[in-house]
Amino acid sequence: MRHNNKINCIDCENTNCFIKKHCLDNIEQSVRIHENKFVNRYTKNQLIFMEGNFVDSINFIQSGRVKVFKKGAFGKDQIIRLISDGEIFGHRGLSDAEKFSISATSITDTMICSFDKPFFFKLLKSTPELTFNLMLYFANELNHGENKLRDLAIFNVREKVAKALITIIAAYGLNKENEINHAHELSRQDIAELVGLNSNQVTKILADLKEDNILETDNKKIKIINLKKLKEIVNI
């Protein structure tokens, strides 16, 4: 992690970003944002912050991919979100929590824009549009979270694996060859941690799905043959 030449938000190509969308109306504020922005670069698999750390920042992905996860008992982690360009994270720290309740690591090479909490609060107070849209965004995230909760409570192992694959596809898409995990960043263990399984179970179900001509595996590579059938497993 090291400081880097900062891109000004105005020049940033990331149109998905909350700051870009809602905070650059007046010049004065744009300047203050640039002054208060920290930009850090992370290489693959670096820890960005850890559960228990003092909440000192709100973060946005300028480019790259990040996994947000929680530590559970017996080293059984749970991946909460897979996110990419423009998405905000660490925002649970906006509530009265003093410490991060989650950890975050980079999956690929990643650039993160951060603001310290007091500045971000000032920004929220002076930009109702930002606050409003953040509120809507959170309402939507709550929706997703509740769907996930129900799914985890009800799904069997096969359905959970299908769900995990679909989650990855929703977050990062498929490449031209219909493969997920393009750069082979996500292990069986990661897939397992998305849905509360262990890597062994994932491997076995992947073999079953291969048998059923739903996908093909070649080491870490997973090629989707029949996305429709995969989705049918989880009823979508």
Partner DNA sequence: GAATTGGTATGATATAAATCATCAATAATC
Partner DNA sequence: GATTATTGATGATTTATATCATACCAATTC
Would you tell me which residues interact with DNA (CB under 7 A)? 156-158, 184, 187-189, 196-201, 203-204, 206-207, 217-220
Smallest distance from DNA to CB 157, Å: 4
Q: How far is the CB of 124 from its own copies (least distance, A)?
A: 6
Give the nearer residue to DNA in terms of CB position, either 43 or 200. 200
* Partner in contact with 207, chosen from its own copies, DNA, none, beta carbon below 5 to 8 Å by kind: DNA
Closer CB to DNA, 99 or 184, in the complex: 184
Pick what 204 binds: DNA, its own copies, none; C-beta below 5 to 8 Å, kind-dependent: DNA
Question: Residue 6 gets which letter from DSSP?
Answer: P
Q: In the bound complex, what is the minimum distance in angstroms from residue 34's beta carbon to DNA?
A: 37
Judged by beta carbon distances under 5 to 8 A according to partner kind, the member of its own copies, DNA, none in contact with residue 219 is DNA
To 5 degrees, how large is the angle CA 74–CA 144–CA 168?
65
Which spans of this chain sit near its own copies (rule: CB under 8 A)? 70, 72-73, 76, 78, 80, 91-97, 101-102, 124-125, 128, 131-132, 134-143, 145-150, 152-154, 195-196, 235
Torsion of CA 146, 15, 21, 83, to 10 degrees: 30
Long-range contacts of 217-224 (CB under 8 A, 24+ apart): 219/184, 220/181, 220/184, 220/186, 220/187, 221/179, 221/181, 221/184, 222/165, 222/179, 222/180, 222/181, 223/177, 223/178, 223/179, 224/165, 224/169, 224/174, 224/178, 224/179, 224/180
Return the number of other C-beta atoms located less than 10 Å from residue 233's C-beta: 21
Report, in Å, the least distance between residue 178 CB and DNA: 17
